[in-house]
């Protein structure tokens, strides 16, 4: 008799325990059960343009990066990961929309002989331009700017011009980097707006007219050059720049 009572009590306790567990585990998401690491079970999607709130506490998200951004989760991309107009030298609407606009812009870009970047940073801009050129352009244009990069030397590609033989300016080099020309595609997706000017400055300084004394620009370029619409006078660092390129 005693054994039978023990068995009944054990069965009853087991049934009640399983029932309680089922009620807790089957709760709705609006009232989640007590679990470890709730974000793993019930992730919260953040709207990048709205202020983030802690999903399980009654206060705003206190992640330092969000706090500095007024609580918003849409932060600026990490430096060097996404092309941005951080230097304020690019205007999307100035890009050519058809061949006629492209050709007109290319012709006009040859009159641009000064980068719109701040001349006070010329040395740093040239240094960064060199680094970017070596990472992005050397494969085709070569370390000497002679159009004999590894890809060309391998025989897989040909027709890359030598900078010294071309009638180019810092404006036309920038224009081609931005919009492409002939077999060369646009590198606007690989280089930020300001960095395209830095590469162009390096090309002119290193391969076209090395050792030239820096001079100030005087004539702004037109919008057709796809550079900028507001002229900004800048010193051309050791390039032969004599004209001002408007901000792009």
Query: How far apart, in Å, are the Cα atoms of 103 and each of 3, 97, 108, 177, 234?
Result: 99, 11, 9, 14, 25
Record the pTM: 0.54
Higher pLDDT, 122 or 86: 122
**Section 68-72 average pLDDT:** 67
φ/ψ of 105, rounded to 5, equals -65, -40
What tens digit of pLDDT does each residue of 179-194 get? 999 888 899 888 888 9
**Whether 232 contacts 246, CB under 8 Å:** yes
* pLDDT at residue 123 tops 70: yes
Please check the confidence at residue 220 and state whether its pLDDT lies above 50.
no
- Residue ranges and CATH numbers for the domains of the chain are 43-75 (no CATH), 92-247 (1.10.760.10)
Q: pLDDT band at residue 206, thresholds of 50, 70 and 90? A: very high
Residue 55 confidence class, pLDDT cut points 50, 70, 90? low
What are the helix (H) ranges across 62-185? 64-68, 99-109, 122-136, 138-141, 150-153, 170-179
**Distance from C-alpha of 154 to C-alpha of 149, rounded to nearest angstrom:** 9
């Amino acid at each position: 008799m005693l054994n039978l009572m023990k068995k009944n009590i054990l069965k009853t306790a087991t049934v009640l325990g399983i029932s309680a567990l089922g009620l807790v585990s089957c709760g709705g998401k609006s009232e989640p059960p007590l679990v470890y690491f709730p974000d793993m079970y019930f992730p919260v999607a953040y709207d990048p343009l709205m202020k983030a709130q802690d999903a399980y506490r009654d206060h705003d998200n206190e992640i330092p990066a969000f706090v500095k951004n007024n609580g918003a989760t849409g932060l600026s991309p990490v430096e060097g990961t996404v092309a941005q107009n951080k230097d304020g030298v690019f205007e999307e609407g100035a890009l050519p929309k058809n061949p006629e606009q492209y050709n007109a812009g290319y012709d006009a870009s040859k009159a641009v002989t000064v980068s719109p970047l701040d001349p006070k940073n010329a040395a740093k801009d040239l240094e960064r331009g060199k680094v970017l050129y070596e990472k992005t352009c050397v494969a085709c244009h070569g370390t000497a700017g002679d159009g004999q990069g590894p890809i060309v030397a391998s025989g897989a590609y040909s027709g890359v011009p030598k900078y010294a033989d071309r009638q180019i300016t810092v404006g036309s080099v920038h224009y081609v980097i931005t919009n492409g020309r002939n077999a060369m595609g646009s590198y606007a997706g690989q280089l930020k707006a300001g960095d395209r000017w830095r590469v162009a400055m390096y090309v002119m300084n290193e391969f076209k007219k090395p050792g030239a004394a820096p001079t100030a620009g005087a004539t702004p370029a037109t919008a057709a050059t796809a550079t900028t619409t507001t002229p900004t006078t800048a010193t051309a660092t050791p390039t032969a720049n004599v004209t001002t390129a408007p901000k792009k």
